[in-house]
Amino acid sequence: MQRALQLAAYGRGSVSPNPMVGCVIVYENRIIGEGWHRKYGGPHAEVRAIEDAGEKENADLLDKSTAYVTLEPCSHYGKTPPCADLLIRKKIRKVVICNDDPNPLVSGSGIKRMLEAGIEVESGMLAGEGEKLNKRFFTAMRQKRPYVILKWAESADGFIGHAAGPPVQISGSLSNMRVHKWRTEEDAILVGFKTALLDNPRLNVRNWHGKNPVRTALDRFLQLPEKLNFFDGSQPTIIVNHLEQTIVPTDPERYAENPAIAYVQVEAGQNEIQQLLAKLHERKIQSVFVEGGATVINAFLQAGLWDEIRKCQGPKIIGSGVKAPLAEGILTDSEKVQDDLWTFYSRSSDTP
């Protein structure tokens, strides 16, 4: 199962909104086939592992073998046919599962179908590891909202920047690289109005290899100017706002044909963050990396709608400016991990 989890993780950044899944087929303590779900819409892990066993000319051993799968084999026709049926057809002797699939389309019916076909099934092996691996998928399935990671960099004296003027460089180039790697792992990045306006961020992946997330900005009254990098059409972009269709924005040009930009409405009020997450969930966004500024991060903290904090504290003293969000006291020390300039706070005691 450890090997299956390791294989599953190769799907990181390529399979969302599907979970990362790995599968290992074992005959008499020897791996005769292995595979993982490589790409959204592509073959599932079990299909790959069975194919692999076939290629190794071990197909005739399947009825005497055990399949270790990190997620309950599916029982539905989605982009691919049910994996449970494939395992039954191949007469696999035993199936060992790490996590049950919370997807309502599966949710126990994969296991049931295999049991009815006479396959021995065991579930829950290394379940904690699997929960961590697919924390985004499980959060989206169970809580109907994306997994939320709050990230910021603060100075040694607790400021994230000056009150006005260009952004202050707090973290070094190595930290920067890390942040770009993290961007490849999440479905969306989100920033507030002021950050989008004053920092003019590109919010894409430059210092690492991987896919660009959907960039999202809160622009309640559609006041962000068109010249910002945000509107360059280079990657999918969501503008969250309060305006009804009937109100004409100051800059109607922006509504002109740009398939990369989607305008999403939320109502003004207490539960704006909740509404925003619900809208992202509708768009199958399973995780959001909140990159600032302090107002937005504080709003997530106050709403209690977050799963992880990644805080970088640099050696620089700024003296005054925008106070960093306060992470201390939110979680106990046992849920906190220190690594170089970074502190990770996690409700699932996980470290990136």
CA dihedral 178, 141, 16, 135 (to 10 degrees): 30
Residue 106 touches Zn ion, criterion: CB under 5 A: no
Q: Return the number of the residue (43 or 192) whose C-beta is nearest ligand AOF.
A: 43
Q: Which one is catalytic: 28, 34, 46, 120? A: 46
- Cβ(222)–Cβ(251) under 8 Å? yes
Is 183 flagged in the annotation as binding? Answer: yes
Is 299 flagged in the annotation as binding? Answer: yes
| Encoded tokens for 140 | 């989206």
Which residues have C-beta within 8 Å of that of residue 330, sequence separation ≥ 6?
301, 309, 345
Q: How far apart (Å, rounded) are the C-alpha atoms in residues 325 and 168? A: 16
How many Å is the maximal CA-CA distance in the chain?
Answer: 71
Interactions with Zn ion, residue window 75-94 (CB under 5 A)? 83
Catalytic: 46? yes
Shortest Å, Cβ 126 to ligand AOF? 16
**What single DSSP character describes residue 259?**
T
Q: Which does 128 bind (CB under 5 to 8 A by kind): ligand AOF, Zn ion, none?
A: none
Q: How far apart (Å, rounded) are the C-alpha atoms in residues 144 and 110? A: 22
Residue with tokens 């800059």: 251
Shortest Å, Cβ 180 to ligand AOF? 26
Q: How far apart (Å, rounded) are the C-alpha atoms in residues 161 and 168? A: 5
Q: Return the number of the residue (110 or 201) whose C-beta is nearest Zn ion.
A: 110
Which residues have C-beta within 8 Å of that of residue 304, sequence separation ≥ 6?
none
Give contact residues for ligand AOF (rule: CB under 6 A): 18-19, 21, 37, 44-46, 71, 73-74, 78-80, 83, 101, 103, 106
Is 294 flagged in the annotation as binding? Answer: yes
Q: Closest by alpha carbon to 265, among 247, 246, 240, 302?
A: 240
Is 322 flagged in the annotation as binding? Answer: no
Q: Which residue is nearest to ligand AOF (CB)?
A: 78
Q: Which does 19 bind (CB under 5 to 8 A by kind): ligand AOF, Zn ion, none?
A: ligand AOF
Shortest Å, Cβ 238 to ligand AOF? 22
Q: Which does 79 bind (CB under 5 to 8 A by kind): Zn ion, ligand AOF, none?
A: ligand AOF
Annotated binding site for substrate: 183, 203, 206, 291
Q: Which residues belong to the active site?
A: 46
Residues within the interface to Zn ion (CB under 5 A): 44, 74, 83
